[in-house]
Amino acid sequence: MIQLSLYKKLQANHGEMILDIDIQIQSGRLVAIYGESGAGKTSILRMLAGLFHPEKGKIIVNNQTWLDCSEAINLKPQKRKIGYVFQDLALFPNMSVRENLLFALDKGQKSDIVDELISIMELHKLETRSPDTLSGGQRQRVALARALVKQPDLLLLDEPLSAIDHQMRSKLQDYILEVHKKFQLTTILVSHDITEVFKLSDHIIVLENGRIQKQGSPSEVFSGKNMSGKFQFTGDILSIEKEEVVHIVSVLIGNNIVKVIVTEEEANDLSVGNKVIVASKAFNPIIRRIG
């Protein structure tokens, strides 16, 4: 469990803004902080990492107090078990990929974890290369691996994929999900990309002008909660085919593909890969016993 209460006056683009939040995050969750730029998202991550100090507040991670302004407790950044990936995280240019990972090891820490990460993140072919020769997507893959070398309790991702093209981004999202589960991390993702937030997170905190505007599961936060359809799922569009005056949209929901008829106007607003809510009234589906 991570308990976080932070208060600080910030200088935002439009003047002074007060960041005032109180959040509890269960261990093992992947939580997204979603909001416009300047809402205070990055400030929260930097305070968690110990790079920025609130005026008032407390950070307790798995019963360990990292920060308590009233008790003058403030753990140094290197004492906080955190992995941090930024949008433009700089790797050391004079070191190979492997050396970049080895450099992140703590004193006395075994290097097995480096091999494991190279394997999970499929960096074999890149390990001897220098960062300058890598694509943006490959660099972020290395940055993610490097953030995990110290085996942190908490992984902080600050718009890690925003500079990467769509296809590569989707792959990297899969890597994030994989390491999140594999290392049983608690991950906090800052993003303003709804599709990304939907794909990755199980809980969303919407931040507006330094305050929590709402929070909940992705479908609760993005429209689902306020729609009376009780037969409701989120999925990804696999294909859209025109059929006379209608379109047939195939949607992957979990491991099942369902088909939904939509009109031309609706189809124009949809494309393959979009995250969607499929909803119907509870009155429509039929149930048959099969076992």
Question: What is the Cα Rg of the chain in Å?
Answer: 22
CA atoms within 13 A of residue 20's CA, in its CB half-sphere: 4
Question: For residue 243, what are its two tokens?
Answer: 């059929």
The reply to whether 79 sits near other proteins by the rule CB under 8 A is no
- Looking at the Cβ atoms of 112 and 265, the one nearer to other proteins is 265
Q: In this structure, are strands 256-263 and 246-253 parallel, antiparallel, or unpaired?
A: antiparallel
Rounded CA separation 242/164 (Å): 31
Strands 203-208 and 30-34: parallel
- Which residues are 156's β-sheet partners? 84, 188
Give the relative orientation of helices 136-148 and 166-182 as an angle to the nearest 10 degrees.
10
| Nearest-approach distance from CB 154 to other proteins, in angstroms | 34
Q: Which is nearer to other proteins, 112 or 283 (CB)?
A: 283
Closest CB to other proteins among 239 and 263? 263
Q: Which stretch binds other proteins (CB under 8 A): 62-70, 174-182, 190-198, 258-266?
A: 258-266
Is 119 one of the binding residues for other proteins (CB under 8 A)?
no
Q: Give CA–CA dist 42/44, Å, rounded.
A: 5
Interaction of residue 226 with other proteins, rule CB under 8 A: yes
Q: Can you tell me the distance from the alpha carbon of 166 to that of 180, in angstroms, rounded to the nearest whole number?
A: 21
- Using CB under 8 A as the binding rule, the residues of this chain from 11 to 70 that contact other proteins are none
73: contact with other proteins by CB under 8 A: no
Considering only 86-94, 186-194, 205-213, 219-227, which stretch makes contact with other proteins by CB under 8 A? 219-227
**Is residue 187 helix, strand or coil?**
strand
220 binds other proteins (CB under 8 A): no
Q: Which of 1, 163, 227, 253 binds other proteins (CB under 8 A)?
A: 227
- Applying CB under 8 A, the span of 51-59, 79-87, 139-147, 226-234 interacting with other proteins comes to 226-234
Instruction: Check binding of 261 to other proteins (CB under 8 A).
Output: yes
Q: Are 84 and 156 in contact (CB under 8 A)?
A: yes
Among the listed residues 49, 75, 177, 246, the single contact to other proteins using CB under 8 A: 246
Nearer to other proteins, 168 or 194 (CB): 194
What is the DSSP code (8-state) at residue 92? P
Binding site for other proteins (CB under 8 A): 223, 226-230, 244-246, 261, 263-266, 279, 281-284
